Amino acid sequence: MGTPDGDFLDLDWLPARERGAPIVVILHGLEGSGKSHYVRGLMREAEERSWRAVVVNFRSCSGEVNLTPRMYHSGETEDLDWIMRTLTVREPTLRIGAVGVSLGGNVLLKWLGEKGEGAPPQVLAAAAISTPFNLAACARVLDRGLNRSMYTASFLRTLKAKLRKKQRLYDRLLDLPAALRARTFAEYDRLVTAPLHGFADERDYWTRSSSGPYLARIRRPTLLINAINDPFMPAAALPRDAASKSRFIHANFVREGGHAGFLEGASGRRSWAEGRALAFLERHLLG
């Protein structure tokens, strides 16, 4: 789909077997895509219910780099807002549920909080899995020790590869040599995310893009699933207080599950979080 700013988004669709079926909008995590294991799991859950689903591949995440300098980030909600408006204009009686995982969960929750009472009436419920509610806290744990070598290095490798493919767009916008030397999220967000998206620095980006402060403004039933042992998200940063004060937020903070894991069964290939998220949506979309 072409975007209003002359770029594009690739969407992966699961068509419905039944006329008028609800649709699930799925948002993936950092450097994920429609091929991510948790996205496939959510699509399977939707298919088992004979629902429709659409996966939003964030800019440059579908396998094809986008056309404009801007990319995607944890607080970027304009594309999601445009997609929701497009869906509801095309089908005003649509029943929409949304699920975001990791970065996608942060984007979804921030958007819901930004919209508040003004969220499209077709959006009936949402679920967020392994959300980084506090980006500064997450950056601190990911930028040190084993996390830095296991996770951060892997994410930065693919992010830098996209910068190289788009380097002609960045001559006057970024210090590209310095950006390609970034070894932490703090460095990358300072050198890339902030200047590309209008933030003063990495801390300004983390503060303004974290979904935690937006939870109190959400006005749709929303399920939060996070594990206390998530290596990306410190347990102390879980928004227990905000969740307890909202009649719209249903928090399911469990001891184990890692980051977007929550595996169950003998094979350990299926996530109970995906089924629980869709069951939550089902109660509100069909109730």
Spell out the domains of the chain, with CATH numbers in brackets.
10-134+212-285 (3.40.50.1820), 135-209 (no CATH)
Q: Does 271 participate in catalysis according to the annotation?
A: no
Which of 144, 146, 145, 180 is CA-nearest to residue 163?
Answer: 180
**Predicted pLDDT of residue 267:** 66
Q: Which of 28, 73, 197, 259 is catalytic?
A: 259
Q: Is 284 marked active-site?
A: no
H helices of the chain, where? Answer: 37-48, 78-90, 103-115, 135-142, 145-147, 153-165, 176-180, 185-188, 194-197, 202-209, 240-245, 272-285
* pLDDT tens, N- to C-terminus, the chain (287 residues): 999 999 999 999 999 878 889 999 999 999 999 999 999 999 999 999 999 999 999 999 999 999 999 999 999 999 999 999 999 999 999 999 999 999 999 999 999 999 999 999 999 999 999 999 999 999 999 999 999 999 999 999 999 999 999 999 998 899 999 999 999 999 999 999 999 999 999 999 999 999 999 999 999 999 999 999 999 999 999 999 999 999 999 999 999 999 999 998 766 678 999 999 999 999 999 97
Q: Measured between alpha carbons, how far is 180 from 226 in angstroms, rounded to an integer?
A: 32
Distance, in Å, from the CA atom of 26 to the CA atom of 43, rounded to the nearest integer, reads 8
230 in active site: yes
Q: Hey, which residues does 127 pair with through a beta bridge?
A: 99, 223
CB 214 within 8 A of CB 112: yes
Please give the model's pTM, rounded to 2 decimal places: 0.97
Catalytic residue among 102, 130, 209, 211: 102
The pairing of strands 23-27 and 96-101 is parallel
What pLDDT, on a 0 to 100 scale, did the predictor assign at position 128?
99
Contact yes or no for 116/218 (Cβ under 8 A): yes
Provide the pLDDT for residue 172: 85
- Amino acid identity of 225? I
| Cα four-point dihedral sign 58, 89, 218, 263 | negative
b or e along 237-269 (b: 16 or more beta carbons within 10 Å of the residue's beta carbon)?
Answer: bbbeebbeebebbebbbeeebebbbbeeeeeee
